[in-house]
Chain A
Amino acid sequence: MTTTNKTGAGAPGREMTGAEMVIEALTDQGVQHIFGYPGGAVLPIYDAMFQHPLCKSDKLRHVLVRHEQGAVHAAEGYARSTGKVGCVLVTSGPGATNAVTGLTDALCDSIPIVVITGQVPTHLIGNDAFQECDTVGITRPCTKHNYLVKRIEDLSRVLHEAFHIASSGRPGPVVVDIPKDIQFAKGIYSKPEKQFQHQGYKPRLDGDPNKIKQAVEMMAQAKRPLFYTGGGVINSGPHASALLRELVKTTGFPITSTLMGLGAYQASDPQWLGMLGMHGTWEANWAMHDCDLMICVGARFDDRITGRLDAFAPGSKKIHIDIDPSSINKNVKVDVPIIGDCGRVLEDMLKLWRANKAQPDKHALADWWKQIGKWRARKSLSYKNSNSVIKPQYAIQRLFEATKGRDTYITTEVGQHQMWAAQFYGFEEPNRWMTSGGLGTMGYGLPASVGVQLAHPESLVIDIAGEASVLMTMQEISTAVQYRLPVKIFIINNQYMGMVRQWQELLHGGRYAESYTESLPDFVKLAEAYHAVGIRCEKPGDLDGAIKEMIDVKRPVIFDCVVDQKENCFPMIPSGRAHNEMILGDSGESVDDAITEEGKVMV
């Protein structure tokens, strides 16, 4: 790879071992926490950590997880809640393969992480050596980029490059595979370059001014405009969220967001329509369907959003701002593609809008808002509450009320509880919502909460969990206990893999094959076995008190919130339907009638 190899400080590099270089490079890259698990092929690095002044002075702290998948999710939570690169260290073979789910998750959701894997010594590579696996081969399709370092001369450059690639452009996971002999070898360490130069890797940051001009003109003429925003706004940083808010306020347009973009725009604002897509609100999906101008900012027209492509926003012109050209015209053809960092492009748009003294079509916009008001009045998130059994939606609403105004971070597992969290928990700030969207990884939330809490020790960190998902990485509660991380695992316990049960009800005639868990652990005792605090709540009347108790305890808590087993998550765009064909919880339409034979094929 062709990069210039100047040492940043201009000083000649120091000689050290490869293992020491890893520690130097990490701290030079600003890493303060690394999540990891030791093993034979990384022992030199662990040994260096044991002795290194940077580690002794706690400049770099290692967090011992209980499973390598947990390490990667923790790093993802850390990264998503701080905007920094998350960092992981695992051994060769099983250590590396255990990390693969986390890597794929980070790739799907564009999360910047660097994962360092140990490898068997270079002379044994390809020999089926003990705990050897083809790490770069296995992780090639699930990383943004990966490296096998075969020469000590390359190590410091590769480590710095890894951080640059992980965090710039469209962020993603990078693996650096380091054979054991390279960890022992001595070489000259070079500091990060001030200016990273790479022939092949130059993400485009500034949008084409002509396209921006065209976009702003279209916005001023739109009659039924809509902002459709996504995870890219979060990736771009809090600055981009602030600009988005300004542009939305200045134009007076309505805004919706994907699951990944929640928090970029404040949920309490009247211009906010709620999340869109498969489980999005009535007003967001109808507005998407009927808009005449869609302004997509850092979202990727995922199939959970578009539904039937031939019926997707049929009368609309589309502007798409994205840093990755491959996201543009992938699923949906757009009229004005703008390649660039959405923070910069939003800034340019705002400037131009003001310079032009542009005015939205006020009359048309008023009509549009009137129509949106009608859709809103449908109150698509309403559900029938109960006095005797806790409704899952109610549990999340109460949790939201109890934590409102506090410094709170939410992670989730995957399933119905995740969707209810997205619908009922109102996010006011970016980087407060950590969820596995693209891969949908059950077991993400608990380790992610560990990473978030480590980065924000004083904040309230809650994993809104499902009882099935949380058992996939439950062991990480042990990590939380060891590092005194007071995470709250708020389990919406319906005893079912609720999302699977819902699909079976809708698609497979109510034949609930293997979606009911016959024998769940006693979560209170489980918490106690881990030296955490267990709380169970079964009655709606007890909920507020129990939530308060959970928040007040300054230790990790597993909260077993026993909820209605049969509740379904609505609204829902069923298979074979378009945006304007949502079904609602109280619509009276039988879900059997709503899904066609062909539609059953889809998930």
Chain B
Amino acid sequence: MNTTTHYPAAPAAQSIEAHTLSVIVDNEPGVLARVIGLFSGRGYNIDSLTVSETEHQKHLSRITIVTRGTPMVIEQIKNQLERLVPIHRVVDMTVAGRSIERELAMVKVAADAQKRPEVQKVADALGARMIDESAGGVIFEITGGSDKIEQFIGQMLPLGLIEVSRTGIVAIARGAEGM
């Protein structure tokens, strides 16, 4: 029996890759809705999304999106983003290579005086910095690649993790050139 339809079948299992895209946009009302609407409307994934104005005079924002898909889908995502009028440039940091990715997390841990040294030891080992200390808990700030943050959170879990707030990934290319 024929197992296909006139509509193209879903592509045969291709490797799914995670890519980080840096996007320069006009910081105008609705621009984020356009980007997010594009992803939801076309069924693309968003693993992480960060946005902030980076050039105030020019009203330009930089969006960093981590997404997943087959190489063909990733290429589509880039091309579809470039169709949006307020978007100036899209660079696939993963393809361009040589880029640095960082994330910041604030991690709240319930650590009484007894547990605190142990907590502090783990934090020191991963370079997390204590930024608040109150009666029942402490807050750490940690910056690094997502793996490192995952690792820190994983280690804090049994020690009394209360909550986590993460920025999502930002990325920048090495070398002297700008986007």
Contacts and interface: CB of A to CB of B under 8 A. Distances in A.
| Chain B associates with chain A | yes
Interface of A: 1-2, 136-137, 140-141, 144-145, 148, 165, 198-201, 278, 303, 306-310, 324-326, 328-331, 333, 573-577, 596-599, 601-603
B167 interface: no
Nearest to A199: B88
Interface of B: 1-9, 11-12, 25-26, 28-30, 33-34, 37, 41, 58-59, 72, 75-76, 79-80, 82-88
Contacts of B8: 303, 306, 308-309, 331
Given A136-B30, A137-B33, A140-B33, A576 B2 contact: yes
Contacts of B7: 303, 602-603
A394 B32 CA distance: 54
A602 B3 CA distance: 12
A200 B81 CA distance: 11
7 contacts: A137-B33, A141-B37, A200-B84, A326-B79, A328-B79, A329-B76, A603-B7
A325 B78 CA distance: 9
A199 B6 contact: no
A506 to B, nearest CB: 11
Contacts of B26: 1-2, 199-200
A307 B6 contact: yes
Contacts of A330: 72, 76
Contact of B4 (A2, A200, A303, A576): A576
Contacts of B6: 278, 303, 307-308, 573-577, 599, 602-603
A113 to B, nearest CB: 16
A165 B86 CA distance: 12
A597 B84 CA distance: 40
Given A326-B80, A598-B3, A602-B6, 19 more contacts: A1-B26, A2-B59, A140-B30, A148-B29, A199-B88, A200-B25, A200-B85, A303-B6, A308-B9, A309-B8, A310-B12, A329-B75, A330-B76, A576-B2, A576-B5, A599-B5, A599-B6, A602-B5, A603-B7
B2 A598 contact: yes
Nearest to A201: B85
B5 A165 contact: no
Contacts of B9: 308-310
A598 B5 contact: yes
Contacts of B58: 2
A200 B90 CA distance: 10
Contacts of A326: 76, 79-80, 82-83
Contact of B1 (A136, A201, A574, A596): A596
Contacts of B30: 136, 140, 148
A144 B85 CA distance: 8
Nearest to A331: B8
Nearest to B10: A309
User: Nearest 5 CB-CB pairs, A to B?
Assistant: A326-B79, A602-B5, A309-B8, A596-B2, A145-B85
Contact of B82 (A141, A278, A325): A325
Contacts of A602: 5-7
Given A1-B26, A140-B30, A329-B72, A601 B5 contact: yes
Contacts of A575: 5-6
Nearest to B77: A326
A199 B3 CA distance: 47
A333 B72 contact: yes
A597 B1 contact: yes
B66 to A, nearest CB: 20
Most buried by A among B5, B33, B37: B5
Contacts of A310: 4, 9, 12
A602 B9 CA distance: 10
B31 to A, nearest CB: 10
A311 to B, nearest CB: 8
Most buried by B among A200, A201, A310: A200
A601 B8 CA distance: 12
A140 B36 CA distance: 11
